Amino acid sequence: MKKTYLNVLALLLAALMILSGCSAKPAPAPSEPATTPAEASTPAESTPAPEPAESTEPKHVEVLRIGTTSTNDTFNLTTQGGSFGVMNYNSFVAGLFWERDEFGKPQPGAIKDYSISDDNLSITIYLPENLYWHDGKQVTSDDIIFTFEYARDVLLSSRLKDIVLTRDGDYQATITFPEGDSAFAYVNGQTSWLKIYPKHIWENVADNKEYMGEDRVIGCGPYRFVSVDEDAQLATYEAVENYWKGEILVDKVTVKSYASQEAQIMALRNNEIDAIYNYSGPISATLFPTLEGDPNCDLGISPDPGNYMIMFGYNEAPTNDYPFRKAVTLALDYDLFGQTIYGKYYNIPTKGVIPTPNMGYNSSLPEMTYDPEAAKAVLEEAGYVDVDGDGYREDPQGQPLNVLITPQNNKSRAELLTRIAAVIADNLDKIGVKTTLDEESLTSREAWSARSENGGTYQIYIGYCTSGIASYIGAPMYIVNYTETGWWGTWQDPAYMDAYNKVRASSSFEEYEASMLELQEVIAEQLPAVSFAFGTSSFPYRTDKLDGWINFPGWGVINPKTWYTTYSK
Amino acid sequence: MIKNIWKEFRKNRAFRLGVILLLFFISMAVLAPVIAPYDPEALLGMPNQRPSAAHWLGTNDIGQDIFSELVYGSRISLKVGIVAALAVTTLGSTIGMVAGYYKGVVDKVFTVLTNVAMTIPSLPLTILLVGFLKTGMLGMVVAICITAWAGTARVVRAKVLQIRELPYIQIEKLMGVSDFKVLFKHIVPNIADIVMTRCALSVGGAMMTETSLSFLGLGSFTQKSWGNILHFAFYRNGVINNMWWWYLPPILCISGCMLGFVLVTHYGRSRSQLIKG
């Protein structure tokens, strides 16, 4: 029997040793969270690219090794799937019409220039004469015309259904939108996404998604696809010689796919990759301690234009009632949300929902305040009182109140969304409001779609605005009830719709910013949504061998400029 | 039976240790509101705290007291384990008894079913079933029940086949005593020890399955079980950050509880050896 005990003890010890081996490094103490907004770090400024010494030529990077969590399984210029698809947001293999700079503004991508007509209805695109497809054919205005026709007729972009296309020469074409539309809005909305398609390849392909021809990866961006090892999940790309935009400093790029962020971080620490890129998937704040203190790695912190937020459902009571919404916003512990979502790097949000780095951010709006006593008073005044003495409030009609918390259905964010929901539940419990987590929406995409899309029936919805979407209109787009778009918004307040449409119709950045300021004021007044925190994004990178990184806010150091600025030390 | 159990408790050290372990965890579950210093759902405003006098096992990523979570987690883990084990044992024993007692076509049909059920890997099938069933404890119990009955059915069938051939059973049958009476008066008491042993093992198995499912995020997000604590410890990076006070206690609890159930089956084993002897 003694032997049996010893065996059991040995097994338990072995299990302990295995578990200890799983951890990253000898216990770094988890970061002490900031206790007050003032102590919370201001989102870091994006790191300007250190200029190489004037006297020496920047040294080319032989191979830039990028780690991502998108899989290396889809290689098709016309789709956005897999790592190939999301890498193309960085003007990579695909030639983009417009790419976004570090200040959030659209710049010409593979095209030489573009202009918008005075009536804000036409976009004229100018191509460089020395832009070539990766198979050697020249890119001409025929490809531009084809791209818009293909987007309209095959990819079924409803926005393009009434456009008029004009070929102005071999290297110039004009797209004219119908009256009431906005060319400026189109450019902003399509920046980072719209690619030029090669006519000679895709004109005879009816089902683009199923097309498996080898030429499906032909683009006109600065890199050409070389190979993929699907077993190793490693894709290889090489720089195009004499690319028209200038000298490419990164000769070769490998994109390795990892199953999780933890694996990515370990790969970065072990010098298997140089930088991390996940479209709109910054590294979780809970992973910061594994990199903090590593002299060869930088967390790549930048202010995040995207954000997590509550959207209140206007199709359901009590969230269609302003006093109830106000009480909820007063009951939320924004510091705790900041710590839960962003670790140490966050600020208390303002009432305008739109985070600080976005164009048109309204800095005049007040910060959200955590005041449960004020929240209780608001509820009392509005008739939400505890009638039956069970510790929870009933609605003004005396009916039991049980507010549903519906998190967005998102596998990679499920744990964080659940934690956010737990904090909301606790905060509302403290003011006597009973809540239930909508577990079905969390685990079933069908249940979530039914609950949230096309005039949703949610009450408190936890959503996430990606940094990509945030760069143009962003969070307000999710709030508005435009049922034809299939988004989740349920609000149709006339003042808001008016301001929202002004943003959509704006013809310049000045107009855009002015309309955005107005939009945020309406949000602050009516509280259809509330941001949990204005935080930061982290896309870590190594600093020991490479330099010249430019950290785009919310996007990271892998961006359209990487290929031209990163150099070997 | 209580006399037998007490006798076993006094002379069998393994059984004794098993009972002590189980009593420890059952007390933890029953007395959770008394033992736990905080409400496990309450946010105490201090996320990721190391163990201290105020928080014996520190706090998790949103500031909940991990020790209180652990104490309350025993309730869900044991409840799922016990309810699922009762269901599994009832189903498996009934099938085993019917197959072993009636033999012939009935036995063949149930044996084929049992063999098929035993060839299917249970965890992947449970995962699949949980995906289809409603989230929560009921869905999990049903899924465990559907996938875990075969072992009990096979053992019970073998024992019933043996008992039904004993002379006194044959005499009862010749005297025209009803099958129901024979089964419940003579066979059930003789297989009770085996059924109890299987039930104890099933509790451990069901708890392990519940933990696995919750760890994979297939359990309920709102019910705190040991698997649920582990899930968040792993996915909120407590493991990679070496926050052992977060991930180790639920592992030790599950291991201790499993060990308790396994050791308790020593009693059943020695009893069945007595019957054989």
B142 contacts: CB under 8 Å, gap ≥ 6: B129, B133
Query: Could you tell me which of A537, A554, A530, A532 has the C-alpha nearest to residue A467?
Result: A554
For residue B130, the chain A residue with the least C-alpha distance is A443
| Gap from B195 CA to chain A (nearest CA, Å) | 25
Residue A3: predicted pLDDT = 52
Test B255 with A12 for CB contact under 8 angstroms.
Answer: yes
For residue B216, the chain A residue with the least C-alpha distance is A415
In DSSP notation, A317-386 reads: TTTTSHHHHHHHHHH--HHHHHHHHHTT-EE--BTT-S-TTSTT--TTSPBP---HHHHHHHHHHTT---
**CB contacts < 8 A (A, B):** 102
Test B242 with A27 for CB contact under 8 angstroms.
Answer: yes
Test A333 with B221 for CB contact under 8 angstroms.
Answer: no
Residue A225: predicted pLDDT = 97
| pLDDT one-digit tens code per residue, A304-350 | 999 999 999 999 999 999 999 999 999 999 999 999 999 989 999 99
Residue B197: predicted pLDDT = 86
Topology of domain A307-536, CATH? Dipeptide-binding Protein; domain 3 (3.10.105)
The CATH superfamily holding the domain A221-300+539-568 is Periplasmic binding protein-like II (3.40.190.10)
Does an H or E element contain A173, and which? Answer: strand A172-176
For CA atoms B218, B219, B221, B224, the dihedral sign is negative
* Per-domain boundaries in chain B: 2-35+56-276
For residue B17, the chain A residue with the least C-alpha distance is A5
Residue A470: predicted pLDDT = 86
For residue B218, the chain A residue with the least C-alpha distance is A443
Test B237 with A423 for CB contact under 8 angstroms.
Answer: no
Residue A303: band (very low, low, confident or very high) from pLDDT cuts 50, 70, 90:
very high
Residue A16: predicted pLDDT = 47
CATH number for region A95-214: 3.90.76.10
Residue A88: predicted pLDDT = 96
Q: Which is higher by pLDDT, B189 or A57?
A: B189
Average pLDDT over residues A4-20: 50
Chain B residues closer than 8 Å to A30 by CB: 48, 50, 241, 243
Evaluate if residue A172 carries a pLDDT over 50.
yes
Test B41 with A425 for CB contact under 8 angstroms.
Answer: yes
| Gap from B122 CA to chain A (nearest CA, Å) | 22
For CA atoms B190, B194, B200, B203, the dihedral sign is negative
B184 contacts: CB under 8 Å, gap ≥ 6: none
Residue A17: band (very low, low, confident or very high) from pLDDT cuts 50, 70, 90:
very low
Residue B6: predicted pLDDT = 81
Test A20 with B244 for CB contact under 8 angstroms.
Answer: yes
Residue A1: band (very low, low, confident or very high) from pLDDT cuts 50, 70, 90:
very low
Question: Which of A16-20, A562-566, B53-57 comes out lowest in average pLDDT?
Answer: A16-20
Q: By a Cβ cutoff of 8 Å, what residues of chain A touch chain B?
A: 1, 4, 8, 12, 15-16, 19-20, 22-31, 33, 262, 265, 284, 286-287, 289-290, 333, 336, 339-340, 414-416, 418-419, 422-423, 425-427, 437, 439-440, 442-443
Residue A41: band (very low, low, confident or very high) from pLDDT cuts 50, 70, 90:
very low
In DSSP notation, A503-530 reads: HHH--SHHHHHHHHHHHHHHHHHH-SEE
Mutate to test the interface with A, among B43, B69, B216, B258 (most CBs of A within 10 A): B43
Residue A267: predicted pLDDT = 96
Query: Could you tell me which of A464, A470, A463, A465 has the C-alpha nearest to residue A191?
Result: A470
Residue A352: band (very low, low, confident or very high) from pLDDT cuts 50, 70, 90:
very high
Mutate to test the interface with A, among B38, B62, B229, B253 (most CBs of A within 10 A): B62
Residue A474: predicted pLDDT = 85
| pLDDT one-digit tens code per residue, A428-456 | 999 999 999 998 888 888 889 889 887 78
Chain B residues closer than 8 Å to A258 by CB: none
Residue A98: predicted pLDDT = 97
Test B255 with A289 for CB contact under 8 angstroms.
Answer: no
Residue B5: predicted pLDDT = 76
Residue B12: predicted pLDDT = 84
For residue A289, the chain B residue with the least C-alpha distance is B241
Angstrom distance (rounded) from CA B195 to CA B181:
19
Test A19 with B247 for CB contact under 8 angstroms.
Answer: yes
Q: How many CB atoms lie within 10 A of CB A382?
A: 17
Mutate to test the interface with B, among A23, A35, A406 (most CBs of B within 10 A): A23
Average pLDDT over residues B241-260: 94
| Gap from B172 CA to chain A (nearest CA, Å) | 43
Test B48 with A33 for CB contact under 8 angstroms.
Answer: yes
SS3 A36: coil
For CA atoms B204, B210, B211, B212, the dihedral sign is positive
As beta bridge partners, residue A542 has A297
Angstrom distance (rounded) from CA A341 to CA A319:
24
| Residue among B134, B222, B240 minimizing CB distance to A262 | B240
Residue A54: predicted pLDDT = 52
Test A443 with B61 for CB contact under 8 angstroms.
Answer: no
A18 contacts: CB under 8 Å, gap ≥ 6: none
Angstrom distance (rounded) from CA B77 to CA B214:
10
Test A333 with B43 for CB contact under 8 angstroms.
Answer: yes
Evaluate if residue A199 carries a pLDDT over 50.
yes
Q: Which is higher by pLDDT, A207 or B33?
A: B33
Evaluate if residue A31 carries a pLDDT over 90.
no
Evaluate if residue A38 carries a pLDDT over 50.
no
Average pLDDT over residues A145-174: 91
Evaluate if residue A188 carries a pLDDT over 60.
yes
Residue B217: predicted pLDDT = 86
Test A8 with B259 for CB contact under 8 angstroms.
Answer: yes
| pLDDT one-digit tens code per residue, B201-235 | 899 899 999 999 999 888 888 889 999 999 999 99
Residue A293: predicted pLDDT = 87
Chain A residues closer than 8 Å to B232 by CB: 415, 419
Test A19 with B232 for CB contact under 8 angstroms.
Answer: no
Angstrom distance (rounded) from CA A98 to CA A193:
8
Test B13 with A1 for CB contact under 8 angstroms.
Answer: yes
Mutate to test the interface with A, among B235, B246, B270 (most CBs of A within 10 A): B235
Residue B137: predicted pLDDT = 81
Chain A residues closer than 8 Å to B242 by CB: 20, 23-28
For residue B58, the chain A residue with the least C-alpha distance is A30
Mutate to test the interface with B, among A20, A288, A334, A339 (most CBs of B within 10 A): A339
Chain A residues closer than 8 Å to B222 by CB: 437, 439
| Gap from A509 CA to chain B (nearest CA, Å) | 40
Residue A483: predicted pLDDT = 57
Angstrom distance (rounded) from CA A457 to CA A436:
15
Query: Could you tell me which of A267, A301, A223, A194 has the C-alpha nearest to residue A61?
Result: A223
Q: What is the mean pLDDT of chain A?
A: 88
Query: Could you tell me which of A238, A267, A237 has the C-alpha nearest to residue A83?
Result: A237
Residue B269: band (very low, low, confident or very high) from pLDDT cuts 50, 70, 90:
low
Own/partner contacts of A545-549, CB < 8 Å, gap of 24 or more, are A545/A274, A545/A569, A546/A61, A546/A64, A546/A274, A547/A50, A547/A52, A548/A49, A548/A50, A548/A52, A548/A58, A548/A249, A549/A47, A549/A49, A549/A275
| pLDDT one-digit tens code per residue, B124-148 | 899 888 888 877 788 888 999 889 9
Evaluate if residue A50 carries a pLDDT over 50.
no
For residue A412, the chain B residue with the least C-alpha distance is B235
Chain B residues closer than 8 Å to A426 by CB: 41-43
Evaluate if residue B82 carries a pLDDT over 60.
yes
| pLDDT one-digit tens code per residue, A75-130 | 999 988 899 999 999 999 999 999 999 988 999 999 999 999 999 999 999 999 99
Residue A250: predicted pLDDT = 97
Tell which CATH architecture fits domain B2-35+56-276: Orthogonal Bundle (1.10)
Residue A469: predicted pLDDT = 83
Structure tokens at A245: 């935009």
In DSSP notation, A229-271 reads: ETTTTEEEEEEPTT-TT----EEEEEEEE-SSHHHHHHHHHTT
| Residue among B221, B242, B247 minimizing CB distance to A418 | B221
Q: Which is higher by pLDDT, A272 or A472?
A: A272
Mutate to test the interface with A, among B241, B255, B261 (most CBs of A within 10 A): B241
Residue A456: predicted pLDDT = 86
| Gap from B231 CA to chain A (nearest CA, Å) | 9
Mutate to test the interface with B, among A268, A418, A442 (most CBs of B within 10 A): A418
Angstrom distance (rounded) from CA A302 to CA A55:
31
